[in-house]
Amino acid sequence: RPSIGITALGSFAPARVVKNEEFEARMDTTAEWIESRTGIRERRFSAPDEFTSDVGLGAVRDLLARDPDGLKDVDMVICATASPDAMFPSTAALIAGQVGLAGAGAFDLSTACSGFVYGLGMARGLIQGGMARRVLVIGAETITKIVDQEDRNTAILFGDGAGAVVVGPVPDGYGFQDFVLGADSAGGSSLYSRFLAHQLPGGFPMGKWTGMNGREVFKFAVRVLGDSGAEVLAKSGVKSENVDWVVPHQANVRIIEAAAQRFGVPMTKMVMNLDRYGNTSSATVPLAMKEAVDDGRVKDGQQILLVAFGGGLSWAAATLKW
Ligand code: ACO
């Protein structure tokens, strides 16, 4: 099978910076509580008329600014998002039409915060199965629009943003090694958004806002990040001491610390930017990855581990030679 990897990348974050102090001023919390319990200091909020296709488009435009030929041969577009503009048309189609990719296949992928890493796996499979030549994979969110800004349990955690990569053929020895993708609805009611639905079975409370049992999600996240990371390393024949960088889903610094311990990688190898962006759901992994590439941390030929978890509950891990 040909080697498939990432051939271009870009990212975007809305302009408005929301610091912890802003929550302190309007709800029963403190900036200190938020930072010490989550590691988050600030996050970005989309403008009222700025939607997920807009931030996703921002990330693709950034990709094109860095590499004007970056979208060449792209014939499939996947947008991982938990906050799509609409049920249909897909956010992927809306973005594709604005970057000269009208006519390419386009669809949204719904696995909440695991979505971007799932999308990378789908892209590799489509190319290796002969169904696409190159795939544009976007993780884009305006998740703050589906989070109750008066609920201190959730409002403080989330931010908006997007990342975009092109997945395509790379020289032998580079690219993706293996994926572990999973989901288990047993914990599904610990983290949900019913924004578009009014009557779902299964005991999900009514209401349009994102609901969360923080403690349950925390326990699940620590276990699944550690286990799926270890599983994909074993599948790829990579020892944890040979991992150069881990790019984890950026939800909570304490979750990342506990997970790092579980798969035996020191915190100095964890790529982190949640202090500045909070949890941007499906956008955290590409936002963090692009920063680490741009500032020279991630270098040619290095061993990367991507790990994410999210609503479903779901998880996704991948190994990659950069
Ligand atoms: N300010 C002050 N107090 C707060 C706040 C706040 N913003 N939020 C909650 N509290 C209170 C709680 O009400 C609770 O009070 P109580 O003991 O009187 O009931 C107390 O703080 C402690 O609550 P815990 O839940 O034990 O706090 P914890 O240290 O676990 O931190 C947190 C809470 C940050 C939410 C943590 O559980 C967490 O990060 N969980 C994972 C969440 C997550 O990752 N979600 C996104 C998943 S990705 C996706 O797919 C969308």
> Reduced to 3 states, what is the DSSP secondary structure of residue 51?
coil
Clarify whether residues 162 and 186 are in a common domain: no
Q: Which of 139, 169, 199 is the last residue of a domain?
A: 169
Place of tokens 């999210």: 310
pLDDT score of 198 = 44
101 neighbors 125 (Cβ within 8 angstroms): no
pTM of the model: 0.94
Q: Which of 169, 198, 215 is the last residue of a domain?
A: 169
Catalytic residue among 79, 249, 252, 273: 249
- Burial (Cβ within 10 Å: 0-12, 13-18, ≥19) of residue 237: exposed
User: With a 6 A CB cut-off, is 218 part of the ligand 1 pocket?
Assistant: yes
Clarify whether residues 159 and 221 are in a common domain: no
152 neighbors 116 (Cβ within 8 angstroms): no
Clarify whether residues 160 and 180 are in a common domain: no
Please say if 249 is a catalytic residue: yes
- Report residues of the chain scoring pLDDT below 50: 197-201
Clarify whether residues 259 and 163 are in a common domain: no
Going by alpha carbons, the residue nearest to atom 41 of ligand 1 is 218
Please say if 198 is a catalytic residue: no
Clarify whether residues 140 and 207 are in a common domain: no
Going by alpha carbons, the residue nearest to atom 30 of ligand 1 is 215
User: With a 6 A CB cut-off, is 188 part of the ligand 1 pocket?
Assistant: no
Going by alpha carbons, the residue nearest to atom 10 of ligand 1 is 153
CATH code of residue 258: 3.40.47.10
Q: Where are the beta strands (DSSP E) in the chain?
A: 4-12, 16-19, 42-45, 74-80, 105-109, 134-141, 161-169, 175-183, 191-192, 211-212, 245-248, 303-310, 314-321
Clarify whether residues 277 and 240 are in a common domain: yes
Choosing from 218, 220, 315 the residue with most ligand 1 atoms within 8 A of its CB, the one to mutate for a pocket test is: 218
Clarify whether residues 69 and 157 are in a common domain: yes
| ipTM score assigned to the predicted complex | 0.90
Write out pLDDT tens, residues 191-215: 888 765 444 445 555 566 788 889 9
> Reduced to 3 states, what is the DSSP secondary structure of residue 272?
coil
Clarify whether residues 216 and 146 are in a common domain: no
Catalytic residue among 20, 79, 113, 252: 113
DSSP states of 132-149 as a string? -SEEEEEEEE-GGGGS-T
How many structural domains compose the chain? 2
User: With a 6 A CB cut-off, is 213 part of the ligand 1 pocket?
Assistant: no
CA distance 58 to 53: 8
The whole domain housing 145 covers 4-169
Clarify whether residues 157 and 180 are in a common domain: no
Clarify whether residues 152 and 187 are in a common domain: no
User: With a 6 A CB cut-off, is 302 part of the ligand 1 pocket?
Assistant: no
Q: Tell me, rounded to whole angstroms, the distance of Cα 298 from its chain centroid.
A: 18
Clarify whether residues 132 and 205 are in a common domain: no
Q: Which of 144, 169, 194 is the last residue of a domain?
A: 169
Q: Which of 239, 241, 320, 255 is nearest to 286 (CA)?
A: 320
CA distance 96 to 107: 10
User: With a 6 A CB cut-off, is 37 part of the ligand 1 pocket?
Assistant: yes
Clarify whether residues 92 and 130 are in a common domain: yes
What's the 222 CA to ligand 1 centre distance in angstroms? 15
